[in-house]
Structure 1
Amino acid sequence: MTLVHTLGFPRIGERRELKFALEAFWRGDSPAAALEETARFLRARRWQTQAAAGLGLVTVGDCALYDHVLDTTLLLGAAPARFGFGAARIGLAEQFALARGNADQPALEMTKWFDTNYHYLVPELDARTRLSLHAGALLDEVREAQALGHRVKVALVGPLTWLVLGKSHEADFDRRALTGAVAEQYARLLGELGALGVEWVQLDETALVTDLDAGWLAAADAIYARLGAAADGKAGATAEAAAARPRLLLAAAFGDVSRHAARLAGWPLDGLHLDLVRAPDQLAAFLPDWPEGRVLSAGVVDGRNVWRNDLRRSLATLAPLHGALGDRLWLAPSCSLLHVPVALDAETRLDAEVKPWLAFATEKLGELALLAHALDAASRHDLGARAEDDAVLARALAASDAARGARLASRRTLHRTVRARVDAITATMTERASPHAVRAVAQQAALGLPPLPTTTIGSFPQTAAIRAARAAHRRGELGALDYLHAMRAEVADVIARQEALGLDVLVHGEPERTDMVEFFAERLWGYAVTEHGWVQSYGSRCVKPPILFGDILRPEALTVDTASHAQSLTARPVKGMLTGPVTMLQWSFVRDDLPREQVQLQLALALRDEVIALEAAGIRIVQIDEPAFREGLPLRAADQPAWLDAAVRAFRLSAAGVADSTQIHTHMCYSEFNDVLPWIAAMDADVITIETSRSNMELLDGFARFDYPNQIGPGVYDIHSPRVPSVEAMLALLRRACAVIPRERLWINPDCGLKTRGWIETQAALANMVEAARQLRGEMA
């Protein structure tokens, strides 16, 4: 029988139960026991979903309360010394202090998980790091699953990948010095899992799809040699322990690992997972010399997008593999299903044309089971069974063909009009009239801003009253006019608060926006939005990526009325707030029948129209947020320039239609920027705001070495933490910023939007930020 498994499954729950349990615990509204009970319930339901779909192994170890990389850091006893936690005494309070910060320490740095919108907490490693195994929580989860009657596979961040993802603040410390210690702890863990009867352990080594130098590859060889020695009963292991060792499945998602085929053939692996969605051609490098006895896990169902699987295409790939490998062929999604919503059944309001085209995590498990069913049926000799199986398969193939055909033939948007506009784009449409130095003079004359201007990134706290009004409006209980008045009252309140705080450039606070992408998707043709299609971004933060299925058209103004109203309430400049074309693309589930670059340009044209309309309405600053600019970067260096060139072209197309005196801002967060600075400069935004507080302004060093020519606002406090930093702490960061960036080009702002924070902490932090700016201006004078 062909075994089906998944590399991971969404952990938030169909109704975001984990989110609400976490936030209740953080607020002090419920005890730790309630959070732990919710987590147990969600784990059990996830395993039951997998078992009911026919999976041969359920996955354990992917149910992190906050982040799976943080779980691995705690598993290895690697909490940073600066927190003062003993590795053996980390409970929920300490775990969340690492994730969210506390009164004494900022949280661990956060950045994007490879080229996804998931954020992980960066391990801090240095010469003081001493690793030790703390596997109690993981072993308890294994026992839970086994007690429910499940056959278990444990999924872990691979030892190599954990080291690669780490960071050291000591310039002379090489993380590879921990290679032996990491390998030793993983070897010990394999022994403990084997003692519980765990058959398989999945090691997620996504780092292998990136560019690793010879030193990292040598470290990888050393790690897997140690794990092989443990499996062979060497290094002090008894024969009984060696016999009980789990088998190792190495999983390489998000790209091509064929260049490592010879190396992987020599590693002590019992199975290898290949992403055959992102890199279908890599199979040729591994076949026909597939090692005897090794399992091939074929990732043929897309774990990063929501379209139904093309069953005919998948079977064409799988049939010869099944013939050659038999039961050594396993089926899986291309990557963890963490990146897609939980279940399509919950969507009762989704566009009736679009819904049959889709498969969320639960439905993807069904697709895998169906593919396995088809492969096994084809190899049976029982004609009666084959006839039954063929009928099931015929119905499934017909549904798959119908969905794909309907999607490709859809004419829901103005294809010819939109594509003609893309074809007509010229080089002059992506150029501002004057260089930034000239524009800066015109903008200062128009805006009259003080030195070191203060602003925020865009959103302000989404209070219970805002959410209640929005929900009532959606249910039809609050009419359109009453809802408009409610939102305008919120805007007036936010403007008044900002003026009282003394901020220089204001925002309207975005009370009407559920999400920075979904808001625009609801108003652009070519998009569909879901009701419950939540995906975890980090911790309790969930997003609902819209579904981009057709050509993009802006039927009317999107934000002009709200921005104009906000500007009418104050003499200070108010920013128009838009989400940029790169982020709109990256944070959506995107159609796969057109090149992504073309879809990105369609989005850029729609946003260009909005930018020009905002300027015509008297808005003199427009912020076009691009937090995903670095996120979508291909994982191999050779593929990156073309992607970056296309991203820059799209941003400039959206921004370049305005006069010199109109100031264009952009915002980026939680990414490493140093390797893409030439392209960030090429975007030619007048002001860029970036996340820097968690890294203690380290990101600015790259901007200084590159001599970034335009204005920049490094974040002076971390909005993802409830911690309110002092004036002195912000001044220390700002003085460091002034050491690397000329003061006349500096802005002062938080790291990111304030949507998830409460008003008490928001006002306190912003008051300190404004005071820090006042004091720094005094020092300048």
Structure 2
Amino acid sequence: MTNVKTSSLGFPRIGLNREWKKSLEAYWKGKTDRETFLKEIDEQFFAALKTQLDQQIDIIPVSDFTFYDHVLDTAIMFNWIPERFKDLNDPLDTYFAMARGTKEAVSCEMTKWFNTNYHYIVPEYEKNAQYRLTKNKPLEDYKKAKTALGVETKPVILGLYTFVALAKGYETQDIKDIYQQMIPLYTQLLKELEQEGVKWVQIDEPALVTASPAEAAAAKEIYEKIKDNVSGLNVLLQTYFDSVDAYKELISFPVEGIGLDFVHDKGKNLEHLKAHGFPKDKVLAAGILDGRNIWKANLEERLDWTAELISGLGASEIWIQPSNSLLHVPVAKHPEEQLADDLINGLSFAKEKLSELTLLKEGLVSGKAAVQSQINDANEHLQALKRYGAATNTAFAEERDKLTEEDFARPTAFEERLRIQNESLGLPVLPTTTIGSFPQTAEVRSARQKWRKQEWSDEQYGSFIKEETKRWIDIQEDIGLDVLVHGEFERTDMVEYFGEKLGGFAFTKYAWVQSYGSRCVRPPVIYGDVEFKEPMTVKETVYAQSLTSKKVKGMLTGPVTILNWSFARYDLPRKEIAFQIAHALRKEVEALEKAGIQIIQVDEPALREGLPLKERDWNEYLTWAAEAFRLSTSSVQDTTQIHTHMCYSNFEDIVDTIEDLDADVITIEHSRSHGGFLDYLEQHPYLKGLGLGVYDIHSPRVPPTEEMLTIIEDALKVCPADRFWVNPDCGLKTRQPEETIAALKNMVEAAKQARDKLAQTV
């Protein structure tokens, strides 16, 4: 008889009411002292553990909880601290400086965690650095949980293979040297856990899902060397987000358990298991519930599927668990959530998913009859959800069904459009602009809350938004920006705002998810067909344009980003949902153009994050992603300039797709890449309009003019000056007004100096 246990791979850090975010930001602003901050963080650490204990989970993780980011935790733990931060003597100050930067030092690069919307801090390798184990965070967390709660937990560690794969600053030939330096440190960490009496440790190696057999063999050597010195500690080697290509190699690793994702694997992990078997002396940790979406599981189907898996496995023990860490979903259904019953009953957040696991375990151990009533309830909830979603279908779909190939392409080639737009827009060389949003101050947030609580009328709130818009139009005029924006003061979030105005979307009040650091978002819930109802941005954009003779950009979020940053329905292909959103946005683009707006930005910061992990799957996704963007933007006149924006990514992977978008101008986050993308552009020129961010907006630091001028001049070595734009990395929503104004003044001055130098060379 197979022993069945439930396991959690990781739990959200932020707390039901974002207590974690509030503690962090209060500490950063100096509103709480360090002692208070650490006390609050400890309380939140224990709250996350207790929630999992309350769901009767057998194997609970620790050390997934963090001050900022688990990859940064690993870097700090092994002294991967860049030289520019070495003059900071305080460990906590150093930690946050690497994440957020200082006045003197640029923060470490930030990028997406595999194909999710979570951002991690990129470790930086420095060849002559002295790496060492500075602290054993997993051990500290394990002891803390055991002392306070009397619970045996499973420390979670980011594996060495994945840590190096995520890092930057080294050449391929350096990898063996890095392993040679780091294996003794990982061994030391695990040896200390073993000596403490830890029973199981979870080592996360998601990078192994894309490893070739040769790469998996190199990773296996890491574990063999570690196991030579750590033999009394059970290791669960955990993979997720896709199937493991090198499955035969993986199951031969010298570990006691292997975790596989049976949700996002497209059925491949199960195929591998059936074809090659699974070691009877290892625990299979089976990811059977979707850890990245919020829909209630079909419990009957999951129970039958898992029972069949177990019957064919022949293993002495199996753990059932989510497909990945629950970091990517909200903590739990909030008692004050306001959603239709048929919708909320069909949802399952982190807490509820763990409860589903416990129910599935009972069904596996005691038989389906023991849980049949709960299964029946779940089935009814799913049927009610399906009926609720179907109720949104309208005649809008009929127009979408009549789209032809001509609707997916602009009729005029870019070079001709560029000539026409240069004449009609009258912009200077190296035009300056921002990405869209301006600081959302406490006053802005307070006004929105008063309006949402109906303490303010629509007229009061509308007047306030107009005042803020005018104030920042005047500020932009004073700074000397060439293309202005209205500031987006009416928007809480770049996806939420549009979803609230489209059919087929629902919005929660409390279902927050961490994006990066203390930044949390509430992803929309796409439960039905998407439909355009009425113009969403025209009023605010036209008002802003009426205040200035300069051009004001219309600001929209693109279809792929709306899809990737939403919890999307599971009963339609993602391509079809993207096209539905694109068709709705097309109506908005046309409404802006009709209202006289000549520059329209359709942002796609999440386009690359939706890229499948395996390169063989890229083309299908990138093809329909580009088609969706073009469907949104291709109905405009040649005189209308289409912009787009993308956030931190490995852009060289998708340059062909960026071309396929056929946008007139693309702006890209660039400053944290430390020039890496310029090296690529030197070999692979991009000849459409391009704006490379000249300063990092995720840091309170105000870069000097000279620093931004250097970035501009370096960019002009590989980018044509007649189509290069000067802009910050991203939107300025999270920054303070004073630092925003100071940084933009320096940016505009840098652009002026660059223009003067260009003029002197003519």
Shift of 1:142: 1.3
1:456 aligns with 2:434: yes
Specify the alignment match of 1:38 in structure 2.
Answer: 40
CA–CA distance in 1 between the matches of 2:366 and 2:213?
A: 45
Q: Which runs of 5+ in 1 are unaligned?
A: 233-244, 379-388
Give the counterpart letter for 2:80 in structure 1: A
1:398 is paired with a residue whose SS is helix
1:475-509 C-alpha deviation (Å, 9 max, x unpaired): 11001111111111111111011001000000000
Instruction: Give 1:304's aligned residue.
Output: 292
Structure 1 residue 262: deviation in Å?
1.7
Superposed CA deviations along residues 245-304 of structure 1, whole A, max 9, x for unmatched, are 3200011100001x3222122211111111111123412312473212211111111100
The 5 A counterparts of 1:59-458 are 59-84=61-86, 91-147=91-147, 148-168=149-169, 174-212=174-212, 214=214, 216-232=215-231, 245-257=232-244, 259-279=245-265, 280-287=267-274, 289-323=277-311, 324-325=313-314, 328-378=317-367, 390-391=369-370, 393-415=371-393, 417-458=395-436
Q: 2:642 matched to which residue of 1?
A: 664
Counterpart Cα distance in 1 of 2:446 and 2:297: 38
Asked if 1 retains the 8 angstrom alpha-carbon contact of 2:211 and 2:246, the reply is no
Give the conservation status (yes or no) of the 8 Å contact 1:297–1:329. Answer: yes
Specify the code of the residue in structure 2 equivalent to 1:676: I
Cα distance in 2 between the residues matched to 1:247 and 1:135:
21
- 666, 682, 691: which one pairs with 2:660? 682
Kept in 2: contact 1:693–1:751 (CA 8 A): yes
Secondary structure of residue in 2 paired with 1:357: coil
Q: TM-score of the superposition, structure 2-length normalised?
A: 0.96
Amino acid at match of 1:291: P
Q: Is the 8 A contact 2:213 2:249 kept in 1?
A: no
Specify whether residues 746 and 38 from structure 1 end up closer, same or farther in structure 2 by C-alpha distance, changes over 3 A only.
same
Query: Unaligned 5+ residue runs, structure 2?
Result: none
Partner of 1:29: 31
Q: What's the CA shift for 1:229? A: 1.2
Residue in structure 2 matched with residue 381 of structure 1 by the alignment = none
344-353 vs 528-537, greater mean Cα deviation? 344-353
Aligned to 2:588: 610
2:571 matches 1:593: yes
Change (3 A) 1:267 1:211: closer
Which amino acid in the other structure matches residue 239 of structure 2? Answer: A
CA distance in 2, matches of 1:336, 1:737: 39
Structure-2 separation of matches of 1:9 and 1:667: 32
Q: Secondary structure at the match of 1:576?
A: strand
Greater shift, 333-342 or 11-20, is seen at: 11-20
1:509 counterpart residue number:
487
Conserved in 2, the CA contact under 8 Å of 1:131 and 1:181? yes
CA contact (8 A) 1:3 1:327 kept: no
Partner of 2:695: 717
CA shift, 1:16, in A, is 0.8
Give 1:18's match in structure 2, choosing from 4, 17, 20.
20
Which residue of structure 2 lines up, in the alignment, with residue 241 of structure 1? none
Larger CA deviation: 275-284 vs 153-162: 275-284
Measured in 2, the distance between the counterparts of 1:413 and 1:659 equals 36
Q: Does 1:726 align with 2:704?
A: yes
Contact 1:430 1:652 in 2 (8 A): yes
Looking at structure 2, the residues matched to 760 and 648 of structure 1 have their Cα atoms a distance apart, in angstroms, of 38
CA apart distance, 1:578: 0.3
Q: Deviations over 1:328-353 (max 9, x none)?
A: 11111000000000011335212332
SS in structure 2 of the partner of residue 491 of structure 1:
helix
1:756, 1:290 → 2: CA distance? 49
Classify the secondary structure of the residue corresponding to 1:51. helix
CA contact (8 A) 2:504 2:528 kept: yes
SS at match of 2:364: helix
Q: Which residue of 2 aligns with 1:238?
A: none
* Alignment CA distance shift 1:755-1:173 (3 Å): farther
Q: In the alignment, residue 496 of structure 2 is paired with which amino acid?
A: E
Structure 2 match to 1:529 = 507
Distance 1:737 1:368 in 2: 52
Which secondary structure state, in structure 2, belongs to the residue aligned with residue 574 of structure 1?
strand
Question: Given residue 132 of structure 1, which amino acid in structure 2 is its aligned partner?
Answer: R
CA RMSD after TM alignment: 1.6
Q: Which amino acid aligns with 2:324?
A: C
Shift of 1:181: 2.1
Q: CA-to-partner distance for each residue in 1:563-611, whole Å, 9 max, x for gaps?
A: 1111001110000000000000000000010111000000000000000
Work out the CA distance in 2 between the residues paired with 1:103 and 1:212. Answer: 43
- What one-letter code is carried by the residue in structure 2 that aligns with 1:357? G
- Aligned-partner residue type, residue 168 of structure 2: K
Identity of aligned residues (%): 44
Q: State the SS of the aligned residue for 2:727.
A: coil
Secondary structure at the aligned position of 2:238 is classed as strand
In 2: Cα distance, 1:464 partner to 1:356 partner: 34
Whole-Å separation in 1 of the counterparts to 2:316 and 2:730:
50
Judge which range, 736-745 or 746-755, deviates more: 736-745
Query: How far apart are residue 390 of structure 1 and its match?
Result: 3.1
Name the SS of the counterpart of 1:177 in structure 2: helix
Residues 397-449 of structure 1: CA deviation (Å, up to 9, x unaligned) = 11221122222333555536344333322111111121111111111122110
Between 1:633-642 and 1:203-212, the stretch displaced more is 203-212
Deviation of 1:173 after TM superposition, in Å, equals 5.8
Aligned letter for 1:190? Answer: L
Structure 1: distance between partners of 2:469 and 2:621? 38
Q: Check 1:408–1:172 CA distance in 2 against 1; reply closer, same or farther (3 A cut).
A: closer
More divergent stretch after superposition (220-229 vs 466-475): 220-229
**Match of 1:486?**
464
Deviations 1:654-673 (Å, cap 9, x if unpaired)? Answer: 01010000000000011101
Residue pair 1:459, 1:754 contacting (<8 A) in 2 also: yes
2:389 & 2:677 partners in 1: Cα distance?
45
| Distance across 2 between alignment mates of 1:418 and 1:309 | 30
**Which residue number in structure 2 is paired with residue 744 of structure 1?**
722
Q: Is the 8 A contact 1:295 1:329 kept in 2?
A: yes
Q: Residues of 2 paired with 1:412 and 1:723: CA distance?
A: 49
Which residue in the other structure is 1:385 paired with?
none
Asked whether the equivalents of residues 527 and 569 of structure 2 are also in contact (C-alpha less than 8 Å), the reply is yes
Deviation at 1:32, TM superposition (A): 1.3
8 Å CA contact retained: 1:505, 1:573 = yes
TM-score (normalizing by structure 1): 0.94
Which amino acid is the alignment partner of residue 284 of structure 1?
E
Contact 2:281 2:315 (C-alpha < 8 Å) held by counterparts: no
* Whole-Å separation in 2 of the counterparts to 1:260 and 1:409: 42
Give the whole-Å Cα distance in 2 for the aligned partners of 1:752 and 1:586.
Answer: 18
Q: Deviations over 1:595-650 (max 9, x none)?
A: 11000000000000000000000000000000001110000010000100000000
Partner letter of residue 360 of structure 2?
A: L
2: distance between equivalents of 1:24 and 1:251? 35
